[in-house]
Structure 1
Amino acid sequence: MVKSDFIIDPSLLDFDNPIADIEAIRKFNPQRHEMEQLTAILCEDREINACAAYKEITDKEFWVRGHMPGMPLMPGVVMLEAVAQLSSYFTQKHDLLGAAMVGFGGVDEVRFRGVVVPGDRLIVMVRLDKARRGRMIVASFQGVVNNNIVLEGCLRGIPIPIEAVTSQLAGSPKADVS
C-alpha cells in the first residue's frame, strides 16, 4: 500500500498528542459506556474535510467473549460504528449538517480487508465528500491496523429528529433512556 492511498498518512499521526480525548469527544457524540468506539481524535484537516482517530482494542471489549470464543474478531458493524462516531464528531464539531444529532443513513461499497483483534490499534479516517446542510453528509472512510487497510467504504449520515424519537420513546412502556 502506498501512502497516497490513505485518506491521511498514518505516519503523520501523533498518538502521544491527540487533539481530543474521550471527554472532548463526548461533547459532540452521545454514545456512552460500551458503545463508545473512539479512544481519541488525532488530527483534522479542514482543507480536505478529513480527520483521523483511533480505538485501542482490548480484551475487555463487550464483543470479545462471544465473537468468537477462542478467536475474538472485532465485528464489522462495530468497526462501522467507530467510523460513524468519527464522522459524527467532525460533522457536529464544525456544524456541517445543522442538526442536533447525526445518525446512520447508510453505507455503500464497504469492504473488509483484514481482521481486528484485541491488542490492535484501529485507526479510523474519514473524509467528508459532501455535506448538504439539513439533509445528509457523505464520507469516504478507512480503517487501518499496522499500516494495512482493514476496512473502507462510504458512509451517509442524516439528521436525527430528536423530538420525534423522544416522543416515540415516551409512548413506549419499556423505554429506559437514562
Structure 2
Amino acid sequence: GTKGIGYKNVTMNEYYFQGHFPGKPVMPGVIIIEAMAQVGSVILLSKDDFKGRIPYFAGINKFRFKKIVKPGDQLRIEVEITKLRASIGVGQGKAYVGDDIAAEGEFMFAIEKDCE
C-alpha cells in the first residue's frame, strides 16, 4: 500500500537530549522529520519497483510543530505517499503523541534510479 505507521518510544537516553535543552529535554523537530522520512522510505522500498534502491530526502514543505515531544512519550508516525512518478515521491506525514498531533507536513523523496 501507500500508507505506513511507525513508532518511536522516546527515552531520556537519546543523545540529543544532552543539549536540547539542558534541564528541559525536547525532541528536536528535525529528528521528528527524519523519523517521518524513514517511515516513508520503508513504504517506498516495500514496492517491487523500488527494491534495492535508495530513497534520498529531497525536501520539506508546510511543516508545523504543534506539541513538544519529551522523554516518556511514544511517537506514532503515520505517512501516506501521495504522489509517485518515476523517481520522485511526495509524502504526507503526521506524528502523534497519544491523540494529539505533535507535527505534520509534506516531504519529498528522490529515488536512486540504479544502485549499480
Equivalent residue number for residue 92 of structure 2: 140
Does residue 55 of structure 1 match 2:8?
Answer: yes
Equivalent residue number for residue 130 of structure 1: 83
Question: Shift of the alpha carbon at 1:100?
Answer: 1.2
> Residue by residue, what CA displacement relative to the aligned partner does 1:90-132 show, whole Å, maximum 9, x if unpaired?
1001145566100101010000001100100000010111111
Equivalent residue number for residue 65 of structure 2: 112
Scaled by the length of structure 2, the TM-score of the pair is 0.91
User: Which structure's CA Rg is the greater one?
Assistant: 1
The separation in 2 between residues aligned to 1:129 and 1:158, in whole angstroms, is 14
Does residue 90 of structure 1 match 2:63?
Answer: no
> Residue by residue, what CA displacement relative to the aligned partner does 1:58-91 show, whole Å, maximum 9, x if unpaired?
0111101110000110000000000000000110
- Match of 1:144, SS? strand
- Match of 1:82, SS? helix
The separation in 2 between residues aligned to 1:96 and 1:58, in whole angstroms, is 36
Highest RCO, 1 vs 2 (Cα 8 Å, sep ≥ 6): 2
Amino acid paired to 2:27: M
Scaled by the length of structure 1, the TM-score of the pair is 0.61
RMSD over aligned Cα atoms: 1.9
The separation in 1 between residues aligned to 2:49 and 2:113, in whole angstroms, is 16
